């Protein structure tokens, strides 16, 4: 759905930038800006600004950089880009790059939505969830898995990382597990718990919606569950570069930069399906979910398939799924029950992965909305409760005779199987080496 408050968002971005600079100057702290510059001008801007701060991200697909500096320099730079420049506040060499700057935003901070405290504690170690779960029953996941289970589909969890050693998740990863943009390394281990819980809803062996899909952990949130636009954009670009099919974003905030909006649009235009939590504040926009057509915004329902008070009501809501008392994985070979639109979002990511494993030749979002159970007002529930069983049945009946579809599906499965075989060979070789050494 198109977002109708673009002008309002732009004015709020300007206020947010001014407020952030004022606050940072008072506390004498640094802040991160996201600066737009087109073409080769971006290199010149980055080179000059690196003299007074640190360029953290030089984005590959969108014409922006993220730049960290102290508040005084940020204030001067913003004023200069607005035409307020003089020798006394901005040296001549920096004045030369001002016309090449197309815009400046603050890199907004956001966090994972708070979960229901009554449903937070992890259960005892080594417990396995064996009974049928209300959330999977509600969306028809058990029936849908007779048609497909996510084979050959790549799903990124852009979050706090994933405990990829958990027994329910460890076989879901390719050799490339993902990336950690918080610590800038290739070990995106979850230090919070939120991302592991989200990942289990997508693909846990015994209770994921699409248990045969391939997971990627893209860590953009720290151990406290908070992060910034700048790292989120880097995570989205990683998904584009690595040809991820679906990316789940169970985080959000009331503000977002133009760069994050442009990154979501670029990903959408290049085939990455973005799914995001609608927010847990009860009403209003939460970004990136509320960007409109480029992101599928997911509201929550409870066990009675009614609206929980926390789930945001807003015009950009696209679909609803279970988000109350949802059991899933937790770091350290544990399990936990969480509530929030954070839990609703990965049900949709999993449902789309399952559907995509049946057929790659359909408009998934349209089919999802067409087959949903209507519940009420669009701003509360979107198109209604997702029914992945209806999606799977439709796709199975309408693609079974397509030889090209079968070939594409077979190739995807072969690719995944080959990667799994390589992982198995590496594990066996390492075990044999350990035996020889010992």
**Which of 342, 345, 357, 359 is labelled catalytic?**
342
13 and 105 Cβ atoms separated by less than 8 Å: yes
- The pLDDT tens digits of the residues spanning 238-252 come to 999 999 999 999 999
Assigned fold of 6-107: Alpha-Beta Plaits (3.30.70)
Angle between helix axes 194-203 and 341-358 (nearest 10 degrees) is 30
- The pLDDT tens digits of the residues spanning 278-293 come to 999 999 999 999 999 9
**Rg of the chain over CA atoms, in angstroms?**
23
Residue 38 to residue 100: CA distance in whole angstroms: 8
- Calculate the CA 12 to chain-centre distance: 23
**Which of 57, 166, 194, 307 is labelled catalytic?**
194
pLDDT bin (cut points 50, 70, 90) of residue 378 is very high
Residue in 302, 332, 303 with CA at minimum distance from that of residue 197: 332
Mean pLDDT, range 271-283, rounded to an integer: 97
pLDDT bin (cut points 50, 70, 90) of residue 132 is confident
Mean pLDDT, range 121-137, rounded to an integer: 66
Mean pLDDT, range 86-97, rounded to an integer: 66
The 3 state secondary structure assigned to 4-34 is CCHHHHHHHHHHHHHHHHHHHHHHCCEEEEE
What residue segments make up the domains of the chain, in order of their start? 6-107, 111-400, 402-438
Is 107 known to be catalytic?
no
Q: Which runs of E-coded beta strand occur in 253-410? A: 273-277, 296-301, 319-322, 326-330, 334-338
Is 347 known to be catalytic?
no
421: part of which helix (H) or strand (E)? Answer: helix 403-437
* pLDDT at 436 (0 to 100): 52
222 vs 411, which has greater pLDDT?
222
**Which of 75, 159, 190, 231 is labelled catalytic?**
159
pLDDT bin (cut points 50, 70, 90) of residue 401 is very low
- The pLDDT tens digits of the residues spanning 215-237 come to 999 999 999 999 999 999 999 99
Assigned fold of 111-400: Rossmann fold (3.40.50)
> Hey, what are 152's tokens?
């050959």
Is 205 known to be catalytic?
no
């Amino acid at each position: 759905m198109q977002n109708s408050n673009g002008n309002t968002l732009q004015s709020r971005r300007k206020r947010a930038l001014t407020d952030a600079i004022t606050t940072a100057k008072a506390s004498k702290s640094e802040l991160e800006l996201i600066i737009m510059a087109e073409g080769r001008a971006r290199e010149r801007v980055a080179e000059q600004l690196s003299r007074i701060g640190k360029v953290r991200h030089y984005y590959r697909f969108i014409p922006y950089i993220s730049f960290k500096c102290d508040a005084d320099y940020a204030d001067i730079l913003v004023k200069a880009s607005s035409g307020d420049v003089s020798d006394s506040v901005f040296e001549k060499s920096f004045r030369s790059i001002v016309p090449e700057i197309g815009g400046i935003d603050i890199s907004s901070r956001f966090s994972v939505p708070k979960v229901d405290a009554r449903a937070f504690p992890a259960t005892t170690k080594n417990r396995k969830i064996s009974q049928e779960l209300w959330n999977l029953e509600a969306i028809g996941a058990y029936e849908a898995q007779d048609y497909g289970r996510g084979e050959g589909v790549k799903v990124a969890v852009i979050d706090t990382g994933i405990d990829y050693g958990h027994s329910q998740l460890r076989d879901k990863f390719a050799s490339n597990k993902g990336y950690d943009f918080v610590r800038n390394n290739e070990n995106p281990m979850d230090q919070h718990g939120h991302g592991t819980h989200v990942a289990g809803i997508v693909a846990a062996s015994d209770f994921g919606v699409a248990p045969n899909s391939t997971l990627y952990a893209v860590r953009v949130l720290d151990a406290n569950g908070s992060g910034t636009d700048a790292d989120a954009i880097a995570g989205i670009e990683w998904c584009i570069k690595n040809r991820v099919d679906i990316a789940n974003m169970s985080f959000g905030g009331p503000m977002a930069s133009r760069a994050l909006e442009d990154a979501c649009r670029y990903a959408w235009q290049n085939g990455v399906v973005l799914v995001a939590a609608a927010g847990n504040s009860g009403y209003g926009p939460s970004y990136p979910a509320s960007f409109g057509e480029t992101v599928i915004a997911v509201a929550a329902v409870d066990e009675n398939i009614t609206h929980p008070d926390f789930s945001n009501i807003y015009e950009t809501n696209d679909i609803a799924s279970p988000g109350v008392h949802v059991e899933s994985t937790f770091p350290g070979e544990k399990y936990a029950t969480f509530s929030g639109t954070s839990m609703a979002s990965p049900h949709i990511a999993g449902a789309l992965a399952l559907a995509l494993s049946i057929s790659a030749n359909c408009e998934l979002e349209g089919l999802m909305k067409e087959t949903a159970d209507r519940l009420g007002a669009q701003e509360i529930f979107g198109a209604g409760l997702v029914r992945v069983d209806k999606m799977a049945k439709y796709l199975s009946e309408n693609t079974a005779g397509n030889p090209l579809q079968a070939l594409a599906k077979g190739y995807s499965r072969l690719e995944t199987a080959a990667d799994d075989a390589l992982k198995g060979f590496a594990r066996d070789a390492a075990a044999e080496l350990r035996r020889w050494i010992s």
